[in-house]
């Protein structure tokens, strides 16, 4: 069950609350998660400092 905050966000961005159990990892688009994005950001910061 979605929290009230999650329900508000979904209504704002999607127009409805979706009751699903899949995550971005289940999408076929190859979406990156938090860990991958953090690693990319850290690599970019190291490159900028060099």
Q: What is the pLDDT of residue 1?
A: 64
Structural domain count of the chain: 1
Whether the per-residue pLDDT at 2 is higher than 80: the answer is no
Q: What is the CA radius of gyration of the chain?
A: 16
Q: What is the pLDDT of residue 31?
A: 84
Domain that holds residue 29: 4-49
Residue-wise pLDDT for 3-41, tens only, equals 899 899 999 999 998 887 877 778 788 888 899 999 999
Where would I find the H helices in the chain?
Answer: 4-14, 34-49
For the CA atoms of 40, 46, 48, 50, the dihedral, rounded to the nearest 10 degrees, stands at -150
Whether the per-residue pLDDT at 48 is higher than 90: the answer is yes
- With b for 16 or more beta-carbon neighbours within 10 A and e for fewer, the 21-36 pattern comes to eeeeeeeeeeeeeeee
Q: What is the pLDDT of residue 12?
A: 95
């Amino acid at each position: 069950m979605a929290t009230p905050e999650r329900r508000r966000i979904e209504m704002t961005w999607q127009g409805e609350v979706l009751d699903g159990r899949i995550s971005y990892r289940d999408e076929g688009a190859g979406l990156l998660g938090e860990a991958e994005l953090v690693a990319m950001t850290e690599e970019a910061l190291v490159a900028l400092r060099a």
